[in-house]
Amino acid sequence: IEQTFSIIKPDAVARNLIGTINARLEAAGFQIVAMKLIQMSRSDAENFYGEHQGKPFFGPLVEYMTSGPIVVQVLQAENAVLKYREILGATNPENAAAGTIRHDLAESMSRNSAHGSDSLSSAAREIGCFFEQSEIF
Ligand code: ATP
């Protein structure tokens, strides 16, 4: 059984979509094994998105991700990493398949409602950014 890391981003929290997204996750067979509502600090966001440092969208991305509360969560399922990327859809909602979270709910490329780890190793790193082992059930 695999775990992946998920963020319900500020645009989705602001539009009261926490329940909608969690319902989709549970219906897809994910167990939510850790979850909290937080606001990232600038250094949290710079560290979390470290691989994008230097790219033109890095500053706006950090600004946006720290702009309001987010939900961070650990999701458990068979093949959780790939399975979540599939139901999340492409980064740009205009390219996301019908029925995916981003196609149905996202506002734009930057305000794209949710994040899911892109590999097992990034899942482990990202979970460690926000959760102690004792907070994961
Ligand atoms: P996430 O990591 O949030 O699941 P992703 O893996 O689909 O998204 P990444 O390439 O890791 O995409 O980019 C991280 C986030 O940075 C994206 O979700 C998006 O919000 C933002 N982003 C990426 N590329 C761009 C871009 N060209 N313009 C604006 N924002 C971007």
The ipTM value here is 0.88
Structural domains of the chain sorted by starting position, each given as residue range(s) with its CATH number in brackets: 2-40+68-135 (3.30.70.141)
For ligand 1, say whether the CB of 53 is within 6 Å of any of its atoms.
no
DSSP per position, the chain: -EEEEEEE-HHHHHTT-HHHHHHHHHHTT-EEEEEEEE---HHHHHHHTGGGTTSTTHHHHHHHHTSS-EEEEEEEETTHHHHHHHHH--SSGGGSPTTSHHHHH--SSSS-SEEE-SSHHHHHHHHHHH--GGG--
Q: Is 115 a catalytic residue?
A: yes
* CA torsion angle 93 101 124 67 (round to 10): 70
Atom of ligand 1 nearest to the CA of 91: 7
pLDDT single digits (tens) 109-135: 999 999 999 999 999 999 999 999 999
Give the mutation target among 21, 46, 61, 113 for probing the ligand 1 site: most ligand atoms within 8 A of CB. Answer: 61
For ligand 1, say whether the CB of 109 is within 6 Å of any of its atoms.
yes
Instruction: Choose, from 115, 116, 117, 123, the residue flagged as catalytic.
Output: 115
pLDDT single digits (tens) 23-52: 999 999 999 999 999 999 999 999 999 999
